[in-house]
Each structure stands twice: as C-alpha cells, then as structure tokens.
C-alpha cells in the first residue's frame, strides 16, 4: 500500500511539473562579445509585442544586429526627464529585414512596468515600433503610460525582463559613446530561444 501511494505521488508530481514546464514563459539568450543576456518574455501580458520580437528571433533577423545607443545620466543635456537605457536592433537605416510596425501595447494595458532590466520597444509615434528595442537600467517610471519622457504620454511597450546578465547590460552602457551613440556598435552575434528548440 505504501508503495502504491508513493507511485501515485510520483506520477502526480511529475504531471504537475510537466504542466508548469509547458506554461513557462519563453526565454531568449542574447550573445555579445561582452557576455550573454538571458531575457524572459511575457506573451500573455503583451501578446502583440512579444510575438513580434519572437518572430525576429525565430527568423534569425537579429543576426548581426547591434547595440548602438546608450543613454546615461550624463549624456542628456537637452532632456528634462533623464533615463538610463541601452538600445539595439537593426538600426535606423532601411532594411528588408524589418517587419511592418505593430500596434502599441501600453503599460496601462499590460501591467509590465519599466523597472530595472525591463526590455521594451523603441518608437517615435504610437504604433511605429518594429525592430528596435531597449533595456532599462534602474527603474524608469517616466517610460510607463502617463510618463513624461515622450510628450504623447503613451509610454513605451514593455514585453519582458532580463533575468540574468544585467552586469553585461551595464558594461554595454559604459562603452565609449558620443551624443548617446556608441563610437563602435556592439555586434549582437545571436538572439535565440533558450533552451534552443
């Protein structure tokens, strides 16, 4: 009887572990010469934005992309609202690798706030985000819905968070730059699902 109860318990725990594994948020591993950054995405909270990012990842469109912009406490002389982020992606030049822009998912709708390590989409107007993303260094509430960094008050579309590798993010932020642009872009060798499928 004890053996039977033990067997039932093992089967129950195994199935529970299996179901939690199936519902785990997707993770992506970003590799650079300065180290690796592991990011967890939140598709249930930000389905449009997370799906867009994963489409770039799954189609390997970020291979050879770069981190090219670093915003520090000391390089925003004309901004009233000071933030800290690093920005990367395919860059500002036109490229066939870029998908069409996606609808804007505000932090008011998703509940994903711009805290330390949050990954979010760069944009100009709401609904203009496509391939460019940034990672927050320290909490940045002025990037949330209602924040004042962008005059339209819509904030930016956060969709995940760094769960390992913030020391790499800070290394990137400290690279030589001029007027927020890295003097030499840091190549992103790959961004892949983790573990690889």
Quote the number of domains for the chain. Answer: 1
Q: Is residue 5 part of a domain?
A: no
Tell me the C-alpha distance between 60 and 112, whole Å. 26
Q: Is residue 18 part of a domain?
A: no
Which residues lie below 8 Å from residue 114, measured CB to CB, with a gap of 6+?
A: 107, 120, 136, 139, 140, 141, 143, 144, 147, 155, 156, 158
pLDDT of residue 23: 57
Q: What is the CATH number of the domain that holds 151?
A: 2.40.100.10
CA angle 50, 98, 72 (to 5 degrees): 70
Q: What is the pTM assigned to this prediction?
A: 0.88
Q: Is residue 8 part of a domain?
A: no
**CB–CB of 67/183 below 8 Å?**
no
Q: Is residue 149 part of a domain?
A: yes
Q: Is residue 19 part of a domain?
A: no
Q: Is residue 7 part of a domain?
A: no
Beta-strand pair 133-136/85-89 = antiparallel
User: What's the 3-state SS for the chain?
Assistant: CHHHHHHHHHHHHHHHHHHHHHCCCCEEEEEECCEEEEEEECCCCCHHHHHHHHHHHHCCCCCCCEEEEEECCCCCCCCCCCCCEEEEECCCCCCCCCCCCCCCCCHHHHCCCCCCCEEEECCCCCCCCCCCEEEECCCCHHHCCCCCCCCCCCCCEEEEEEEECHHHHHHHHCCCEECCEEEEEEEEEEEEEECCC
Tell me the C-alpha distance between 73 and 23, whole Å. 38
Q: Is residue 38 part of a domain?
A: yes
Q: What is the largest CA-CA distance in the chain?
A: 75
Q: Is residue 53 part of a domain?
A: yes
Q: Which range marks the domain in which residue 121 is found?
A: 25-194
> How do the pLDDT tens digits run along the chain, 197 residues long?
444 343 333 333 444 444 334 459 999 999 999 999 999 999 999 999 999 999 999 999 998 899 999 999 999 999 999 999 999 999 988 899 999 999 999 999 999 999 999 999 999 999 999 999 999 999 999 999 999 999 999 999 999 999 999 999 999 999 999 999 999 999 999 999 999 87
């Amino acid at each position: 009887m004890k053996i039977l109860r033990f067997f039932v318990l093992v089967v129950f725990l195994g199935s529970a572990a299996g179901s939690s594994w199936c519902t785990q948020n997707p993770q992506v591993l970003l590799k650079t010469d300065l180290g690796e950054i592991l990011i967890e995405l939140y598709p249930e909270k930000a389905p449009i934005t997370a799906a867009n990012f994963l489409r770039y990842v799954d189609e390997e469109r970020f291979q050879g992309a770069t981190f090219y912009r670093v915003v520090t406490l000391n390089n925003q002389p004309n901004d009233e609202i000071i933030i800290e982020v690093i920005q990367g992606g395919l860059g500002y030049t036109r490229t066939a690798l870029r998908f069409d822009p996606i609808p804007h998912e505000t932090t008011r709708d998703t509940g994903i706030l711009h805290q330390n390590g949050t990954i979010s989409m760069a944009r100009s107007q709401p609904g203009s985000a496509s391939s460019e993303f940034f990672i927050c260094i320290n909490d940045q509430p002025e990037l949330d819905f209602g924040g004042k960094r962008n005059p339209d008050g819509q904030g930016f579309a956060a969709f995940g968070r760094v769960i390992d590798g913030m020391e790499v993010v800070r290394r990137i932020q400290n690279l030589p730059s001029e007027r927020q642009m890295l003097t030499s872009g840091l190549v992103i060798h790959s961004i892949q699902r983790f573990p690889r499928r």
